[in-house]
Amino acid sequence: MGEDLPDKHAAWEEATRTAGQILQGLDGKLTPGREWRMEVTDEKQNTLYILHIQAEKPTGT
């Protein structure tokens, strides 16, 4: 999956917008002990950003 964007700022905006839509679409299916990750790369596959969501249940609860 990929999309050509003009610069890093545009890539960040699109990544956060898309991540929000994907997380919303999980509809409660992200459970404690699971994680979700999105990596944003440039045209040469160099990592620009990593968005990482980790669901945890605090100990003792």
Distance of alpha carbon 22 from alpha carbon 10, whole angstroms: 18
Residue 46 lies in a domain: yes
Number of domains in the chain: 1
Domain that holds residue 30: 8-54
Residue 15 lies in a domain: yes
Residue 61 lies in a domain: no
**Cα angle 3, 8, 14; round to 5:** 50
Residue 35 lies in a domain: yes
Cα 13 from chain centroid? 12
User: What's the pTM value of the predicted model, to 2 decimals?
Assistant: 0.75
Distance of alpha carbon 48 from alpha carbon 17, whole angstroms: 16
Residue 60 lies in a domain: no
Average pLDDT over residues 6-21: 94
Residue 34 lies in a domain: yes
Look at residue 61 in the predicted model and tell me its pLDDT. 62
- Torsion 18-15-40-26 (CA) sign: negative
Residue 1 lies in a domain: no
Instruction: Note the pLDDT tens digit of each residue in 22-58.
Output: 989 988 888 898 899 999 999 899 999 999 999 898 8
Residue 23 lies in a domain: yes
What's the longest Cα–Cα distance across the chain? 47
